[in-house]
Structure 1
């Protein structure tokens, strides 16, 4: 074999090797991350700081189910109650929020995922003070991005940021509310005390104020 033919053969072999390596990498990145599950039921307690109201307390339900290795559906229902004061009249308000979102995730590493969600959001508030503005219904859309990581055998964290296209002012501070208060960001740390059960602590900044929560998750 001449030197030129040998060089040409070597280049073809190298290109084939590079092509096979690239296809292998693409195939690996398309696979689901077996360290993280997108099928779970979650229930917890939430608390938000008050503005023109007392601090708000309530509960949050989070249900997630996967369609395939990269997409999932997420449903959230939460309810918080606070005391309000209107014209020197005190009363209690219960604000409910419902959302459904389509999510997508892809591995960033062996135990870390990037995820994105987009969906529909609805709020419903009920007050006991006649004529108050806290009973208005509002709806809009939401969008979230974030990172989930199972950084140790029993530990997981999630960091996220998002946007809510909805007018929260009837439930917060109608005087000082600003339109740019629709962004959301936060983090959650989770400890798995068994394969099925875990407990999480979450802190986030939302239009309803600084919100914290404690939740219990079941992963079937």
Structure 2
């Protein structure tokens, strides 16, 4: 089911931060998320909604991130809702002064519900996810990230994740993230507060 795939993908949309140079692992993120799923027969399902997350350092190289995302949409008479909660443990290690290698392992729980013509179908799943990639500072004000992510829901899928973040102040930034798979595109506009 395509909603299961989107659940896994969005569950990881707010993975923790990286600490290359001046980037913080300790932060609070609020986001607006928009997802498009290519449906059978050329029809698309559009979902959008809010997300929130918190990330905090456990020690010099380890961090933890807790996230939740609530999405909903109505396409072709189908009302769809998707709620995702995740716990991610991450490890980072600098490979240069401004770039970190990251590895994350997470647990995701997704609850989905769809209603059509008065008939409601619901499902919940849990899954593991693995993220491997790089993040760092391109300039003093611009943070970037690129990773490959494997989500282990019933329909295991691998995604390419890209992000860019601009710091308006030392501890406040706005970011755009994109997550790409052959049938799914998810974008998020994020506001992040480092502490």
| Same fold per superposition (TM over 0.5) | yes
Q: Which residue number in structure 1 is paired with residue 83 of structure 2? A: 96
Residue 25 of structure 2 aligns to a residue whose secondary structure is coil
1:205 aligns with 2:180: yes
Distance across 1 between alignment mates of 2:35 and 2:149 = 18
Instruction: Tell me the CA shift for residue 34 of structure 1.
Output: 4.0
Which structure is higher in helix share?
Answer: 1
Contact 1:35–1:110, Cα closer than 8 Å, also in 2: no
Q: CA offset at residue 128 of structure 1?
A: 3.6
> C-alpha displacement at 1:33, in angstroms?
4.3
Number of the residue aligned with 1:50: 37
Counterpart-to-counterpart distance in 2, 1:206 and 1:120 = 20
Question: Which of these two proteins has the greater Rg computed from alpha carbons?
Answer: 1
Q: How many residues align?
A: 172
The question of 1:72 aligning with 2:63 is answered yes
> Structure 2 unaligned runs (5+)?
1-18
CA contact (8 A) 1:183 1:207 kept: no
| Greater RCO (Cα-Cα under 8 Å, separation 6 or more) | 2
Looking at structure 2, the residues matched to 49 and 111 of structure 1 have their Cα atoms a distance apart, in angstroms, of 33
Q: 1:93 to 1:107 in 2, by over 3 A?
A: same
Aligned to 2:127: 140
1:47-196 equivalences in 2 (<5 Å): 47-52=34-39, 54-85=45-76, 90-129=77-116, 130-133=118-121, 135-167=122-154, 179=155, 182-196=157-171
Deviations along 1:97-128, one digit per CA (max 9) or x if unpaired, are: 11101100000111111110002111101234
TM-score, length-scaled by structure 2: 0.81
Question: Separation in 2 of the partners of 1:46 and 1:60?
Answer: 7
Q: CA RMSD in A?
A: 1.9
Q: Which moved more, 1:76-85 or 1:204-213?
A: 204-213
In the other structure, the counterpart of 1:17 is: none
**Which has the larger share of strand?**
2
Q: Gaps (5+ residues) in structure 1?
A: 1-31, 168-178
